[in-house]
């Protein structure tokens, strides 16, 4: 009597395994290592249909708008190979970026597969902090920003400029290679002001990248900051300086 | 007879549990809807509304989405153009205002990343991520 129930149940569980589509992924997680000059990080997810039925892609969706993914084809015939390519626009991202791609197919055994791309984006220059501020009336002492060049990146010099002459900046080489010290100070803190400093490393020569430091003298809470424009002041640090 | 059917049903459920548990263990760190933002840094919309004008909204979505629509007064700050947009945000920031970052959905980690960089790189305090993101705002606007 028990067999009457168990046999159909077992058939329901195991029969689909006998004849089916079967999309096998070479790997569902890939690590990519773009260089400092790359604008995009690209990951390839290879697959093969090892079943005897074709597989159709129903959708390929990415976890954020910064990543695009596309499949080479909409349908994968039995035995056929292919890949999904995921492209991350690096923009101003740094460090490890984990993006997922959700692939939906009509393969009942693997209806949804989540692919993971880990992009390790090298940091050309780390500024810490990127923002310094003084309260109105505070003593106008210099505040220090540490600038650390990424590992194995041959930056020898930093140039810093601003359009606001209410602030002064000084760049010095640090105690070890690839480390700089940037001192910023307002000339006075009686009036509110805001400045953006542009920091340019001397590498890569053909695709110089700008980094920014903001400095502000804040007035009463919530007070608006007037935009300031003034002649460019520049400072730089290089070996021997 | 009734006991037999019950036992068979139980057996089938137990059989189904085996792959389910296996999947749960294998994917324990890969759950796509899992938020990487610690609970203490999340804030819900009713709480933000109690803060009144002391809120500086930050839209972490792509610039196109921001251009289409955004929370009134929100400032665009995303990682596509971080270096360019951060100074514009800092010019508006003040220490007495709480910063609330949002992106398009809770499963999207853009807001979490922007909030983390504001805390770590600009060393700002009182930076939060909106629970439910942009969709939550649209539902309750």
Question: Residue ranges of the domains in chain A?
Answer: 21-121, 125-237
d(CA A123, CA B110): 19
Q: Are residues B19 and B43 in the same domain?
A: no
As a whole number, mean pLDDT of residues B33-56 equals: 86
As a whole number, mean pLDDT of residues B108-134 equals: 92
Closest-CA distance, B80 to chain A, in angstroms, reads 4
Q: Are residues B26 and B86 in the same domain?
A: no
Q: Do A92 and B82 touch (CB under 8 A)?
A: yes
pLDDT, residue B31, reads 46
Mutate which of A92, A96, A227 to test chain B, going by most B C-beta atoms within 10 A?
Answer: A92
Q: Is the pLDDT of residue A128 over 90?
A: yes
Q: Are residues B4 and B68 in the same domain?
A: no
Domain that holds residue B24: 1-30
Q: Are residues B73 and B50 in the same domain?
A: yes
d(CA A32, CA A199): 28
Q: Are residues B130 and B77 in the same domain?
A: yes
> Vertex A104, ends A102 and A108: CA angle to 5°?
135
Strand A193-201, strand A131-135: pairing = unpaired
d(CA B101, CA B74): 9
pLDDT tens by residue, A43-80: 999 999 999 999 999 999 888 878 888 887 889 999 99
Beta bridge partners of A179: A148
Q: Do domains A21-121 and A125-237 have the same CATH topology?
A: yes
pLDDT over 70 for what percent of chain A?
Answer: 82
pLDDT tens by residue, B10-27: 888 888 888 778 776 665
Mutate which of A214, A226, A228 to test chain B, going by most B C-beta atoms within 10 A?
Answer: A214
> Looking at per-residue confidence, does A92 or B33 come out higher?
A92
CATH fold of A125-237: Immunoglobulin-like (2.60.40)
Q: Are residues B25 and B50 in the same domain?
A: no
Q: Do A1 and B1 touch (CB under 8 A)?
A: yes
As a whole number, mean pLDDT of residues A182-194 equals: 95
pLDDT, residue A227, reads 47
Q: Which two tokens stand for residue A123?
A: 């940091």
Sheet holding B42-43, edge to edge: B42-43, B127-130, B98-102, B55-59, B75-76
- Mean per-residue pLDDT of chain A: 85
Q: Using an 8 Å CB-CB cutoff, list chain B residues near A214.
A: 86-87, 90-91, 122
pLDDT, residue B35, reads 54
Q: Is the pLDDT of residue A5 over 80?
A: no
Mutate which of A130, A138, A212, A224 to test chain B, going by most B C-beta atoms within 10 A?
Answer: A130
pLDDT, residue B26, reads 63
- Confidence category of residue A235, pLDDT binned at 50, 70, 90: low
Q: Do A218 and B5 touch (CB under 8 A)?
A: no
Chain-centre distance for alpha carbon A87: 12
Q: Are A94 and A66 in contact (CB under 8 A)?
A: no
We report the CATH number of the domain holding residue B131 as 3.40.250.10
3-state secondary structure of A16: helix
3-state secondary structure of A154: coil
Q: Are residues B25 and B60 in the same domain?
A: no
- Give residue ranges of A with CB < 8 Å to any B CB: 1-2, 5-6, 9, 13, 63-66, 89, 91-93, 100, 102, 114, 116, 127-131, 194, 196, 210-212, 214, 216, 218, 221-223, 225, 227
Q: Using an 8 Å CB-CB cutoff, list chain A residues near B124.
A: 131
pLDDT tens by residue, B73-119: 999 999 999 998 999 999 999 889 999 999 987 557 789 999 999 99
The CATH H-level superfamily of A21-121 is Immunoglobulins (2.60.40.10)
- Mean per-residue pLDDT of chain B: 87
Q: How many CB pairs under 8 A join A and B?
A: 90
Mutate which of A30, A64, A226 to test chain B, going by most B C-beta atoms within 10 A?
Answer: A64
Q: Are residues B86 and B20 in the same domain?
A: no
Q: Is the pLDDT of residue B135 over 70?
A: yes
The residue count for chain B: 141
pLDDT, residue B33, reads 44
Q: Do A5 and B90 touch (CB under 8 A)?
A: no
Number of domains in chain B: 2
d(CA A88, CA A43): 8
pLDDT over 90 for what percent of chain B?
Answer: 61
Q: Using an 8 Å CB-CB cutoff, list chain B residues near A100.
A: 30, 32
Sheet holding A179-186, edge to edge: A125-128, A143-149, A179-186, A167-173
As a whole number, mean pLDDT of residues A2-25 equals: 63
Q: Using an 8 Å CB-CB cutoff, list chain B residues near A5.
A: 4-5, 8
């Amino acid at each position: 009597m028990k067999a009457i129930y168990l046999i159909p149940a077992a058939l329901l569980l195991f029969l689909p395994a006998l004849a089916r589509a079967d999309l096998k992924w070479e790997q569902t997680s890939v690590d990519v290592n773009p260089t400092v000059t790359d604008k995009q990080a690209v990951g390839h997810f290879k697959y093969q249909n090892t079943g005897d039925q074709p597989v159709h892609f129903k959708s390929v969706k990415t976890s954020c708008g910064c990543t695009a993914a596309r499949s080479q084809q909409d349908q994968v015939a039995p035995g056929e190979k292919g890949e999904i390519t995921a492209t991350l626009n690096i923009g101003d991202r740094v460090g490890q970026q984990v993006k997922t791609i959700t692939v939906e197919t009509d393969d009942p055994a693997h209806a949804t597969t989540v692919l993971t791309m880990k992009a390790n984006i090298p940091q050309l220059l780390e500024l810490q902090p990127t923002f310094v501020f003084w309260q109105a009336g505070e003593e106008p002492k210099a505040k220090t920003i540490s600038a650390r060049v990424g590992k194995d990146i041959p930056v020898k010099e930093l140039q810093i400029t601003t359009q606001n002459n209410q602030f002064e900046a000084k760049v010095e080489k640090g105690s070890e290679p690839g480390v700089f010290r940037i001192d910023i100070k307002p000339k006075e803190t009686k009036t509110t002001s805001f400045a953006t400093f542009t920091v340019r490393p001397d590498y890569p020569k053909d695709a110089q990248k700008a980094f920014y430091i903001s400095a502000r003298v804040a007035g009463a809470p919530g007070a608006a900051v007037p935009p300031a424009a003034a002649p460019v002041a520049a400072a730089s640090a290089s070996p021997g300086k | 007879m009734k006991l037999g059917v019950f036992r068979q049903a139980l057996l089938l459920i137990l059989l189904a549990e085996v792959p389910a548990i296996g999947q749960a263990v294998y994917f324990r760190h890969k759950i796509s809807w899992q938020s990487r933002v610690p609970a203490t840094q999340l804030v819900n919309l009713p709480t933000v509304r109690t803060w009144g004008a002391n809120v500086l909204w930050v839209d972490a979505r792509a610039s196109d989405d921001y251009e289409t629509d955004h929370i009134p007064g929100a400032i665009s700050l995303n990682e596509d153009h971080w270096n360019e947009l951060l100074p514009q945000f800092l010019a508006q920031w003040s220490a007495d205002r709480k910063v609330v970052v949002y992106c398009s959905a809770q499963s999207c980690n853009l807001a979490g990343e922007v909030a983390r960089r504001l805390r770590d790189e600009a060393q700002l305090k009182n930076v939060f991520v909106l629970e439910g993101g942009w969709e939550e705002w649209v539902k309750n606007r």
